[in-house]
Amino acid sequence: MAALRSTRRGDRAIGIRDWLTSYGATWLLPVPIGLAMMIPAILWRWPFEALGWAIPADAASACVFGAGMVVIFVPAFSWSGLIVSVPAVWLVLRLGFGGWLSFALGGVTAGVLAAVMLGGMAAPVPVSIGVLSALALRCVLLWLQPSALVPRTTP
């Protein structure tokens, strides 16, 4: 099943440059996403503020701006989880369990551990960030070295 399986010993196909690229991209990916969320909210407000008019959907644009700000700061907190995940991801790929569902479950585990360590933070925030980060990591690894993650099928 491709949801759980990958190429056995897939870690051998991934070089140090691929590891660094995939983890670096996963770590910094939230910054452009957060900017892409914030810029339209800012551009929506400017003409109304310049003319002194009431801003339609002011609460909605403020929420989008705030969510973009939170997304921009994800790398400030996620670096520790990414570093801790290196041995786990290596082992999963070594054993041939590098499917997308395996990575998602690893992201859930990392998110739950982060919620426990942060104490008092609502679990859905770190869990969702963990799952998205894990799946982004798998996507980048798949893009860089598809032979490491696509299981071989024999007829």
3 state DSSP class of 84: helix
Report the percent of the chain where pLDDT is more than 70: 97
What is the structure's pLDDT at 58?
Answer: 77
What is the structure's pLDDT at 50?
Answer: 85
Q: What is the pLDDT of residues 99-109, one digit of tens each?
A: 899 999 999 99
Q: Is the pTM of this model over 0.85?
A: no
pLDDT band at 68 (very low <50, low <70, confident <90, very high): very high
Residue 118 has pLDDT above 80, yes or no: no
pLDDT greater at residue 89 or residue 121: 89
What is the structure's pLDDT at 111?
Answer: 87
d(CA 79, CA 22): 13
Domain assignments of the chain as residue spans, ordered by start: 10-149
Q: What is the pLDDT of residues 2-38, one digit of tens each?
A: 788 888 888 888 989 999 999 999 999 999 999 999 9
d(CA 92, CA 4): 10
Residue 72 has pLDDT above 80, yes or no: yes
What is the structure's pLDDT at 155?
Answer: 54
Mean pLDDT confidence for 115-139: 87
Lowest mean pLDDT among 78-82, 144-148, 150-154: 150-154
Q: In Å, how far from its chain's centre is CA 110?
A: 12
Q: What is the 3-state secondary structure (H, E, C) of 3-42?
A: CCCCCCCHHHHCCHHHHHHHHHHHHHCHHHHHHHHHHHHH
